[in-house]
Structure 1
Amino acid sequence: MILVTGASGQLGQLVIEQLLTLASTKQISAEQIIAGVRDPAKAEHFKQRGIQVRKVDYEQPETLVSAFAGVERLLLISSSAVGQRVAQHQKVIDAAAASGVKLLAYTSLLHADTSPLALAEEHRATEALLLASGLNTLILRNGWYTENYTGGLAAALAHGKLLGCAGDGRIAFATRADYAAAAASAITADLQPGNRVYELAGDTAYTLTDLAAEVSRQTGQTISYLNLSEADYCDALVQVGLPQPFAALLADSDTGASKGGLYDASHQLSQLIGRPTTSLETSVAEALKG
């Protein structure tokens, strides 16, 4: 049995889809897939596809041990509650150990142990908890999602400028679907004892200037990259409606990218999924479709 936490989230739903694809090849069956969600009443679409649904609420730890009953492999998709992640993840790890889970996989951050991004702090702490748990663990250190940038292309097209504070930092981004495919592949592979770490990133690294140039090429509209200070970029994100803490986190991440924090050339992601990661050209074309 395989359980995916945060199954109704953007990444979680894609992981479920990838597991269903594997189910179609008879590697696993749909009945072996469990969607862990906070509100099972809102997950009827999973049940209709033969997937089990169980309540997994980090703030109700009593739900976790029963949710993990019979689960052999557990994918912990990192919580979206920045600042509360470590405590929430600890509850999942404790329940997994108590339930006899044989493999606990976790979606961490690229080069979390050395990353300059503020986001890495909670991931480093969670990785330490995993290593101390005694469980067999699989740490999937995901790089940046392409969608973190292509999701804002409408604003760039409206103003003729792509904003950021990453300078000439090279970012090896890949799509959520790429990372979901990696998670599904890793969690269904032959069980191995110990602790394994994957550094996952796109095959090719780009600067935000490269991204602006690709948008310009595909639209015929000149889009330039405007590199701001971290404070000014944070302010710009707040002005378009992002909450200040989240805007600050994104701006800090861009600054981290300028220091090489989102670059990797190991190609472990494409090796794990058995195909090249999604190209920038394809990702931009998909985003422009709307």
Structure 2
Amino acid sequence: MIVVTGATGHLGKLVVEGLLEKLPADQVAAAVRSPEKAADLAERGVEIRRADYTDPGSLVTAFKGADKVLLVSSSEVGQRAAQHQAVIEAAKQAGVGHLVYTSAPQATTSALVLAPEHKATEELIQASGLPATILRNNWYNENYLDTIKQAVATGSFVGSAGEGRVASAARADYAAAAVAVLTGEGHEGKIYELTGDVAWSNAELAAEIGKATGREITYTDLPADEHAKALAQAGLPEPVAGFVAALDANIKDGLLAETTPDFHALTGRPSTPIGVTVAEIVDAG
């Protein structure tokens, strides 16, 4: 039995879909905070198990009989380490044979603003003694959904990443890598740095949006403090605006620029170029 946490979320749902292409539905369980949101999966024969990262008892029950568990990292920044610790302890208590975790690029050594909670989680996994695989996912193409939509609407977008590059891939790519690990053999003890095949800059993103819309799109690079101020003026809460600007500073420093062969090695296919995702978002309106 393979249990996928966060199975109604963007990434978890894609992993479940990928597993169902390879395995009978009765070998897949969806661990979700709100079981009613997984009704469509239940109709297809997937076992739905309630699992709340803040309710350790629910996690032990959700992982009962699981050979493998995919821990999709929590979306609650600032609470992740504690929530992930509950999952790890429950997996150990339930006798899970293989834990797979979605982490961040170079999590244990990177200055990336998102890295500390992932570093803490990786250390907890190692200390647990559970056989584990770490999937260090680079940026998602879909992280730029709002930026692309804004550029389509206004003809421009701003940032503070300078000429920094992002080796992103589509969310479906990272899901495919997770499916390959969950359905494959010999991945225990491995860390995979998963990236897109090509790293791109904001100027290149503007060019891709321009290509998809058939008109000129401009990118304006701002100092980090001005970028944060512009985001706050656009309605983002100040802490969030500061966080986004900090991420751009990380990109400017090259922390998301490295490409690796790990994705292709796991899936046997190329990653989805940012231009393909841009075109899909533009076409969808």
Sort the TM-score into its range (normalised by shorter chain). over 0.9
Secondary structure, counterpart of 2:169 in structure 1: coil
Q: In the alignment, what sits opposite 2:2? A: 2
CA deviations over 1:59-92 (Å, ceiling 9, x no partner): 1111111111000100000001111110110010
SS in 2 for 1:246: helix
Q: Distance in 1 between matches of 2:187 and 2:177?
A: 17
Q: Which moved more, 1:90-99 or 1:146-155?
A: 146-155
Q: Distance in 2 between matches of 1:243 and 1:21?
A: 41
Alpha-carbon separation, structure 1, partners of 2:237 and 2:48? 32
Corresponding residue SS for 2:21: helix
Structure 2: where are the runs of 5+ without partners? none
- Aligned 1:173-212 pairs, distance under 5 A: 173-193=168-188, 195-212=189-206
1:42 aligns with 2:37: yes
Deviation at 1:239, TM superposition (A): 3.3
Q: Secondary structure at the match of 1:151?
A: helix
% identical aligned pairs = 48
How large is the Cα RMSD of the aligned pairs?
1.4
Q: Are residues 1:217 and 2:211 paired?
A: yes
Corresponding position of 2:15: 15
Q: 2:135 aligns with which of 135, 140, 160?
A: 140
* TM-score (ref. length: structure 1): 0.94
Question: Aligned pairs, how many?
Answer: 284
TM-fit CA distance, 1:29: 1.3
Equivalent residues in 2 for 1:57-96, closer than 5 Å: 57-96=52-91
What TM-score results when the alignment is normalised by the length of structure 2?
0.95
- Aligned partner (choices 113, 116, 130) of residue 111 of structure 2: 116
Alignment CA distance shift 1:275-1:232 (3 Å): same
Is the Cα–Cα contact under 8 Å of residues 136 and 192 in structure 1 kept in the other structure? no
Map of 1:25 onto structure 2: none
Q: Give the structure 2 partner of residue 233 of structure 1.
A: 227
What is the CA distance between 1:234 and its match in structure 2? Answer: 2.4
Which region of structure 1 is more displaced relative to structure 2, 5-14 or 109-118?
109-118
Aligned pair in 2 of structure 1 residues 205, 250: CA closer, same or farther (>3 Å)?
A: same
Against the structure 1 CA distance between its residues 21 and 247, is the aligned structure 2 distance closer, same or farther, given a 3 Å change threshold? farther
1:116 CA displacement? 2.0
* 1:95 to partner: Cα distance: 0.6
> Separation in 2 of the partners of 1:243 and 1:272?
39
